[in-house]
């Protein structure tokens, strides 16, 4: 790929400048993982939708979207805006929640004072997801806001005057992917809150079971049902089987119910993948399920362990079966748009599997390459350190971390003056000139935000209009919380077989089949009727709810385009 003009200028001017200034413009040689961890979690406060609490630390944000759901006579306030826009997409939001919960379960004791803030970040999402699952019988709400209109505007979330359209899936217009991911998020979070709030944990788990039943019983891709409301933004490119696998894996860990294991066996473990993301969950499910094979020596989970290790072989740069490209600076490079979302997600699997391997004193081979826990750990550290500044440009890709980081991120709230500084509202197009097109740094620092990252040549334009590289997203941050806690913490990795992850919760490591099933008799049942338990609400007639139903979509190899 030819070097862009801006990259050429950077080679001519930026690198000599770095040589002259030396350490004054570089991040510290030994990254401060604790500081980065705190900031990576704080970022989520900047993405909050709804009525903000008195404990809000990112104070340039204010209440927004407090009437979301009104079109359907339900309360769908809360949750997170996905990235730099003002839309709530439940598919990536649920994945964000699952990843935050997984990080907390694995590394809670390593988080130190950040553990309560991590729980708060999770709960902000789960409170909203519970509303989406329980507000209306037979429906799972899948998002709020019209992305096609929102992306034509540049206004603060506090000012947004675009339609707050509502999208949902039903038995006749299914969404097994968004339902499976929602079930995974609620099940994972139920373990996070099991000790600190048992009643809330029970509500999360019971709702997760119902949503999972819905996902299995009424199968179909949500992008086929919702069309342009979610595509091309968050199409289900990988289908929905991976979310069924992922959701069942989390419910198995949360309940130890044999019915979920039987369902997992029916799905099998055979997808050859070299990616992990908000869309494709196969690798994550394999690593999660391999935990039992490694920590409990449960042979029932051996096929999942084998798939997890084949995935690692496709990632490791020295593996004969590697299919992963690396930049000259050492960064994994998967796709041009928002590449760091894949880097952080895969890095989370590297650290977690490394932890399991160390506990089990396990190694495996990629051809002639012997892979140890340290092999995975070292690659994960390389990726984290690159993001924090150990890269050719010597810049951090986390906003507010280090002296040199992106200042012009593609983010509406960050790039426009706060309500305190500019009480007058901005209309849909009012923010473009002078703010969007300005070369000035954003007036509000979105601390902890990780942007899409550099290109395949390790180049980066700090350009607000370059959303592919300068836009942050919740799922980029959620996936790096675990690795940051892993490297920040000093707690011991558990070495006992069957020991629960560091933050406690239910063991979930007993051999499957020892516990009597207390869940649904069959996850493949074809019973009619609603599977979502919820109080009944009055239905709104006359097209107040905007939906797109089952006309099918032409699949493309494109990934989600950040805007």
Q: Is 150 a catalytic residue?
A: no
- Report phi then psi at 333, rounded to 5: -135, 110
Give the list of residues 6+ apart from residue 538 with CB closer than 8 angstroms, or none.
73
Q: How many CA atoms lie within 13 A of 356 on its CB side?
A: 25
Taking the CB of residue 420, how many other CB atoms lie within 10 A of it? 9
Residue with tokens 């980029």: 476
Taking the CB of residue 474, how many other CB atoms lie within 10 A of it? 29
Helix and strand totals (H; E) in the chain: 18, 7
Q: What SS3 class is residue 400?
A: coil
Rounded to whole angstroms, the Cα distance separating 361 from 453 reads 35
Residue with tokens 């997984």: 102
Rounded to whole angstroms, the Cα distance separating 384 from 389 reads 9
Which one-letter DSSP state was computed for residue 536?
A: -
Tokens matching residue 491: 């707690």
- Bridge-based pairing of strands 325-326 and 88-89 is unpaired
Rounded to whole angstroms, the Cα distance separating 342 from 320 reads 21
Q: Is 410 a catalytic residue?
A: yes
Taking the CB of residue 34, how many other CB atoms lie within 10 A of it? 18
Q: How many CA atoms lie within 13 A of 240 on its CB side?
A: 24
- Bridge-based pairing of strands 325-326 and 166-169 is unpaired
**What b/e sequence results for 530-544 when a residue is b if at least 16 CB atoms lie within 10 Å of its CB, and e otherwise?**
ebbebeeeeeeeeee
Q: What SS3 class is residue 296?
A: coil
Q: What angle do CA 112, 284, 391 make, to 5 degrees?
A: 65
Rounded to whole angstroms, the Cα distance separating 330 from 266 reads 39
The total number of residues written for the chain in this structure? 563
Beta-bridge partners for 369: 366
**Among 509, 512, 501, 511, which residue's Cα sits nearest to residue 101?**
501
Which one-letter DSSP state was computed for residue 540?
A: P
Active-site pick, 158, 471, 500, 502: 471
3-class SS letters over 64-118: ECCCCCHHHCCCCCCCECCCCCCCEEHHHHHHHHHHHHHHHHHHHHHCHHHHHHH
Active-site pick, 271, 462, 502, 503: 462
Q: Virtual CA dihedral for 493, 498, 502, 504, nearest 10 degrees?
A: -170
Q: Is 462 a catalytic residue?
A: yes
Which one-letter DSSP state was computed for residue 338?
A: S
- Report phi then psi at 338, rounded to 5: 55, 55
Active-site pick, 151, 362, 410, 411: 410
Which one-letter DSSP state was computed for residue 534?
A: -
Q: Catalytic amino acids?
A: 410, 462, 471
């Amino acid at each position: 790929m030819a070097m862009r003009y801006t990259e050429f200028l950077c080679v001519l001017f930026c690198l000599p400048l770095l040589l002259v200034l030396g350490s004054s413009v570089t991040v510290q040689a030994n990254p401060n993982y604790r500081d980065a961890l705190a900031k990576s979690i704080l970022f989520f406060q900047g993405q909050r939708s709804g009525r903000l609490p008195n404990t809000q630390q990112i104070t340039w944000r204010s209440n927004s979207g407090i009437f979301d759901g009104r079109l359907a006579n339900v309360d769908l306030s809360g949750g997170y805006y996905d990235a730099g826009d003002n839309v709530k997409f439940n598919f990536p939001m649920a994945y964000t929640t699952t990843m935050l919960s997984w990080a907390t379960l694995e590394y809670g004791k390593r988080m130190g004072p950040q553990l309560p803030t991590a729980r708060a970040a999770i709960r902000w999402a789960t409170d909203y997801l519970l509303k989406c699952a329980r507000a209306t019988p037979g429906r799972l709400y899948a998002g709020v806001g019209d992305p096609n209109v929102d992306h034509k505007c540049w206004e603060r979330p506090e000012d947004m005057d675009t339609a707050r359209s509502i999208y949902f899936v039903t038995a006749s217009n299914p969404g097994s992917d968004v339902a499976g991911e929602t079930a995974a998020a609620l099940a994972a979070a139920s373990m996070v809150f099991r000790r600190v709030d048992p009643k809330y944990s029970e509500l999360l788990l019971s709702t997760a079971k119902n949503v999972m039943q819905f996902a299995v019983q009424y199968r179909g891709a949500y992008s086929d049902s919702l069309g342009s409301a979610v595509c091309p933004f968050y199409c289900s490119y990988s289908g929905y089987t991976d979310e069924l696998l992922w959701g069942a894996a989390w419910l198995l860990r949360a309940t130890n119910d044999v019915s979920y294991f039987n369902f997992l066996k029916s799905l099998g473990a055979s997808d050859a993948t070299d990616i992990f993301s908000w869309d494709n969950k196969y690798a994550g499910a394999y690593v999660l399920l391999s935990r039992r094979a490694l920590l409990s020596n449960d042979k029932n989970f051996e096929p999942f362990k084998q798939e997890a290790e084949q995935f690692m072989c496709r990632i490791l740069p020295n593996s004969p079966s590697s299919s992963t490209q690396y930049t000259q600076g050492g960064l994994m490079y998967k796709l041009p748009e928002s590449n760091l979302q894949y880097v952080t997600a895969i890095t989370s699997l590297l650290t977690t599997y490394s932890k399991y391997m160390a506990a089990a004193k396990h190694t495996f081979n990629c051809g002639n390459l012997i892979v140890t826990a340290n092999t995975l750990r070292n690659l994960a550290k390389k990726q984290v350190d690159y993001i924090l500044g150990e890269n050719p440009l010597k810049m951090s890709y986390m906003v507010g971390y280090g002296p040199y980081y992106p200042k012009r991120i593609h983010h509406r709230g960050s790039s426009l003056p706060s309500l305190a500084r500019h009480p007058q509202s901005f209309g849909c197009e009012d923010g473009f000139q002078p703010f969007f097109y300005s070369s000035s740094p954003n007036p509000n620092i979105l601390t902890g935000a990780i942007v899409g990252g550099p290109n395949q040549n390790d180049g980066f334009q700090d350009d607000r209009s370059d959303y592919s590289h300068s836009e942050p997203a919740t799922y980029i941050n959620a996936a790096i919380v675990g690795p940051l806690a892993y490297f920040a913490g000093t707690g011991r990795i558990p070495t006992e077989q069957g020991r629960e992850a560091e933050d406690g919760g239910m063991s979930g490591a007993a051999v499957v089949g020892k516990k009597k099933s207390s869940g649904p008799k069959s996850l493949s049942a074809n019973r009619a009727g609603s599977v979502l338990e919820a109080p009944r609400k009055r239905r709104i007639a006359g097209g107040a709810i905007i939906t797109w139903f089952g006309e099918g979509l032409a699949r493309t190899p494109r990934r989600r385009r950040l805007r």
